[in-house]
């Protein structure tokens, strides 16, 4: 008996050691170790330059009902392969992206049940991606995920840049704290007014999660290629510093309906000892599938203005055409309603915007409030709030379409769904035909409030599929999509490049409601933007809203920082969000917005520290032209701008938009100075940035 026990023990030990597989990144800096532990649970760990990044962490699933798929596995096969290629994004931060990794695929089987999964690890120089495959097999065809049990065990009480784990929203302010401090901060972090909110009860956070260790490692955890699967939040154990997958459930508490012959999204860990490399990482894009469309000639960057900010200023402009809330789409004759005379999206006013756009070289004008139904737009219980094919009586679709065409400007369609997605899908085909009939080529979608179908969440599998469906349907009509309040992006804009921007985080509109902390835009590129471009809507010059009326709100940035955001916050869709009148007032500063590019040959991350500052230079796609943006948090600082990105041996004229000497986001935000300077590849500029200030430079 003793002997048998001893042999068993030996076998288990040896089995577990035999299993251990190591994978190195192409540059050798990252090492992944994968094995089965003594329970037959797949585990992995990750090292960077011999420093532990992720301690031994478990992988697997619990399947409904009572199927355990996170232990009792055996490795049947491991396969290694490497990739080194380049590809060109349709729109992007650089014209060419290198896709270089070493891959380990492990096939696992549970001996008793014969159930199989495979795990793919792809190790890039900038991090690790891994995903699960559910192969077609005899004993498993359809199943429901009760929970994914993937862990990311951190090595200590690191600093996190976090927002609360939530099934419905990412529109929180970031909190910067140690893991051990989160519990004491989470109440304040979550108790903010949001139209849809389903905060996770236990301590949890959203991804992309930015982490900084005490010894200066930067770690970013997110996911890539989120399709037909719920989004992943992260449970936080503030004692063990373990993070673990927390999938967004559906209306009945299930966390994913899977048919075998499919893959999960990739779980991503970007790592570096230099924060700049986090921003430079293209790993998440590399883990997405190539472009799904043959013809992408219709996908273009868009710089736009819009009938939008005037709804937030307190100046009295309204989305609604009348004050009669008792409207019913399909029954109410809107032409018979008494107009409220504050309706923003009227033909005359929109033509003024079109004129301004045309005169100043903008591609498009967004018009919110053009369609029937806004009178009752806060009725979150109502399934059919809007028509997406019927304009208000004072919005002449045909006339405006003709007028915009004549002026070489597009109108951007707006589809606020108020999250009634069943109704939106019913109208979608007609709405898209209406758009093509009237010369629209882009739509801003909105998902304010709780989801209908009831009980579903913004970030659940059902809605993940909805957003993708909308992007695919729009593509059939050659229409680009900018989704607001949707699930945060995971690099799907590589596959569906018409889904070219999203909000999915706290953007400028919150400045008019509760303000935004000055460090917010120094964190977003390390978090939300890791997944994809953000329609942040910068460019507010008149930040003190008391200018318009009774509102007391003030932006928390200088005017120049608003300019710098066009460079630091990558997006092929950029709004000049302020009112035309303010751009006329500050016409010299406005020049930068008119000039700045949207699509790039190269990007150079010059300085970066999450929560503190970011300085980025970019070269315009196809042009000898560069733009630099630098921002800081509430602390003034001196940026060191190294122009070595310029071609050697040539001089260029740089126009520098800088904070005025007495500029300060609280007391003197509109103070700025514009100067010219000759620069070359050897120039190193020491540039002062005011508190929550910035610098914007254009170079030709």
CB of 142 to a copy of itself, least distance (A): 5
Q: Is 422 in the site for a copy of itself (CB under 8 A)?
A: yes
Active site residue 509: yes
Sheet holding 67-69, edge to edge: 67-69, 61-64, 142-148, 257-259
CB of 133 to a copy of itself, least distance (A): 14
CB of 292 to a copy of itself, least distance (A): 12
**CA 375, CA 220: separation in Å to the nearest integer?**
42
With CB under 8 A, what is the number of residues at the site for a copy of itself? Answer: 32
Q: Which stretch binds a copy of itself (CB under 8 A): 186-194, 320-328, 627-635, 676-684?
A: 320-328
- Please report, as residue ranges, which positions from 280 to 299 form the binding site for a copy of itself (by CB under 8 A): none
Q: Give me the residues paired with residue 129 across strands.
A: 122, 268
Q: Which stretch binds a copy of itself (CB under 8 A): 122-130, 423-431, 632-640, 679-687?
A: 423-431
Q: Which stretch binds a copy of itself (CB under 8 A): 240-248, 334-342, 374-382, 686-694?
A: 374-382
Q: Is 455 in the site for a copy of itself (CB under 8 A)?
A: yes
Token pair for residue 6?
């001893």
Question: Around 188, how many Cα atoms within 13 Å sit in the side-chain half-sphere?
Answer: 8
Q: Is 254 in the site for a copy of itself (CB under 8 A)?
A: yes
Closest CA to 577 of 196, 284, 313, 205: 313
DSSP E strands, 325-408: 364-367
Q: At what angle do helices 347-359 and 397-406 cross, to 10 degrees?
A: 10
**CA 349, CA 98: separation in Å to the nearest integer?**
46
Token pair for residue 274?
């230099």
- Pick the catalytic residue from 368, 416, 503, 509: 509
Q: Is 379 in the site for a copy of itself (CB under 8 A)?
A: yes
Closest CA to 163 of 203, 116, 130: 203
**CA 524, CA 516: separation in Å to the nearest integer?**
12
> Residue 256 region, left (φ>0) first, then alpha (ψ -120 to 50), else beta?
left
Q: Which stretch binds a copy of itself (CB under 8 A): 86-94, 255-263, 484-492, 674-682?
A: 255-263
Smaller CB separation from a copy of itself, 254 or 358: 254
Q: Which stretch binds a copy of itself (CB under 8 A): 157-165, 324-332, 513-521, 629-637?
A: 324-332
Smaller CB separation from a copy of itself, 453 or 515: 453
Q: Is 454 in the site for a copy of itself (CB under 8 A)?
A: yes
Smaller CB separation from a copy of itself, 382 or 528: 382
CB of 554 to a copy of itself, least distance (A): 34
CB of 415 to a copy of itself, least distance (A): 16
List Cβ neighbours of 508 (8 Å cut-off, separation of 6 or more): 516, 536, 537, 538, 540, 577
**CA 87, CA 263: separation in Å to the nearest integer?**
23
Q: How far is CA 545 from CA 193, 312, 376, 515, 634, in A?
A: 20, 9, 26, 11, 20
Q: Is 406 in the site for a copy of itself (CB under 8 A)?
A: no
What SS3 class is residue 183? helix
Q: Is 453 in the site for a copy of itself (CB under 8 A)?
A: yes
Q: How far is CA 696 from CA 89, 519, 634, 689, in A?
A: 26, 18, 18, 10
Smaller CB separation from a copy of itself, 464 or 523: 464
- Please report, as residue ranges, which positions from 505 to 524 form the binding site for a copy of itself (by CB under 8 A): none
- Please report, as residue ranges, which positions from 126 to 165 form the binding site for a copy of itself (by CB under 8 A): 136, 141-144
Site residues, a copy of itself (CB under 8 A)? 136, 141-144, 250-252, 254, 257, 259-261, 325-326, 328, 376, 379, 381-383, 422, 425-426, 429, 453-456, 462, 465, 469
Q: Which residues are catalytic?
A: 509
């Amino acid at each position: 008996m003793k002997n048998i026990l001893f042999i068993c023990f030996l076998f288990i030990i040896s089995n577990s050691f035999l299993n251990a597989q190591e994978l190195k990144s192409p540059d050798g800096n990252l090492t992944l170790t994968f094995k089965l532990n003594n329970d037959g649970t797949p585990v992995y760990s990750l090292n960077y330059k011999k420093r532990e990044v992720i301690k031994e962490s478990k992988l697997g699933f619990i399947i409904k009902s009572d199927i355990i798929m996170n232990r009792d596995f055996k490795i049947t096969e491991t396969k290694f392969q490497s990739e080194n290629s380049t590809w060109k994004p349709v729109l992007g931060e650089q014209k060419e992206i290198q896709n270089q990794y070493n891959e380990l695929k492990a096939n696992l089987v549970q001996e008793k049940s014969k159930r199989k999964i495979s795990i793919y690890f792809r190790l890039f120089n900038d991090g690790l991606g891994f995903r699960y495959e559910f192969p077609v097999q005899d004993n498993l065809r359809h199943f429901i995920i009760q929970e994914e049990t993937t862990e990311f065990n951190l090595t200590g009480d690191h600093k996190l840049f976090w927002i609360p784990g939530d099934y419905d929203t990412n529109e929180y302010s970031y909190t910067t704290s140690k893991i051990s401090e989160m519990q004491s901060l989470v109440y304040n972090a979550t108790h903010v007014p949001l139209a849809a909110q389903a905060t996770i009860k236990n301590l949890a956070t959203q991804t992309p999660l930015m982490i900084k260790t005490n010894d200066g490692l930067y770690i970013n955890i997110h996911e890539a290629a989120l399709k037909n699967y719920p989004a992943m939040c992260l449970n936080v154990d503030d004692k063990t510093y373990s993070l673990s997958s927390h999938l967004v459930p559906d209306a009945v508490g299930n966390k994913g309906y899977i048919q075998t012959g499919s893959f999960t999204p990739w779980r991503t860990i970007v790592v570096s000892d230099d924060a700049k490399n986090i921003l430079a990482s293209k790993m998440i894009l590399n883990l997405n599938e190539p472009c799904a469309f043959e013809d992408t000639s219709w996908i273009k960057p868009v710089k736009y203005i819009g009938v939008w900010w005037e709804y937030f200023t307190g100046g009295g402009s309204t989305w609604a055409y009348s004050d009669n809330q008792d409207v019913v789409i399909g029954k109410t004759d809107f032409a018979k309603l008494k107009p409220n005379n504050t309706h923003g999206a009227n033909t005359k006013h929109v033509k003024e915007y079109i004129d301004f756009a045309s005169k100043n070289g903008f591609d498009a004008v967004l018009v919110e409030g053009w369609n029937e139904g806004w009178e009752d737009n806060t009725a979150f219980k109502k399934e059919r709030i809007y028509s997406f094919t019927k304009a208000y009586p004072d919005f002449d679709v045909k006339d405006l379409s003709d007028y915009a065409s004549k002026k070489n400007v597009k109108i951007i369609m707006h589809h606020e769904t108020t999250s009634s997605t069943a109704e939106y899908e019913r109208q979608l085909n007609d709405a898209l035909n209406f758009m093509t009939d009237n010369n629209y080529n882009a739509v801003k979608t909105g998902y304010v409030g709780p989801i209908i179908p009831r009980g579903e969440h913004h970030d659940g599998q059902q809605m993940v599929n909805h957003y993708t469906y909308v992007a695919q349907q729009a593509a059939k009509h050659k229409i680009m999509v900018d989704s607001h309040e949707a699930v945060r992006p995971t690099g799907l804009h590589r596959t569906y490049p018409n889904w070219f921007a999203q909000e999915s985080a706290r953007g400028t509109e919150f400045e008019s409601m509760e303000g935004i902390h000055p460090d917010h835009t120094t964190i977003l590129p390390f978090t939300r933007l890791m997944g994809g471009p953000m329609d942040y809507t910068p460019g507010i010059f008149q930040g003190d809203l008391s200018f318009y009326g009774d509102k007391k709100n003030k932006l928390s940035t200088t005017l120049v920082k608003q300019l710098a955001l066009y460079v630091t916050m990558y997006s092929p869709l950029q709004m000049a969000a302020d009112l035309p009148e303010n751009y006329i007032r500050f016409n010299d500063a406005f020049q930068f917005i008119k000039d700045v590019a949207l699509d790039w040959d190269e990007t150079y991350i010059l300085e970066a520290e999450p929560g503190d500052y970011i300085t980025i230079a970019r070269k315009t796609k196809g042009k000898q032209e560069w733009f630099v943006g630098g921002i800081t948090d509430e602390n003034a600082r001196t940026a060191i701008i190294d122009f070595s990105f310029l071609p050697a041996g040539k001089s260029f004229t740089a126009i520098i938009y800088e904070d005025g000497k007495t500029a300060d986001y609280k007391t003197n935000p509109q103070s700025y100075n514009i100067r010219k300077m000759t620069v070359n590849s050897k120039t190193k500029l020491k540039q002062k940035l005011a508190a929550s200030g910035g610098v914007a430079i254009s170079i030709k």
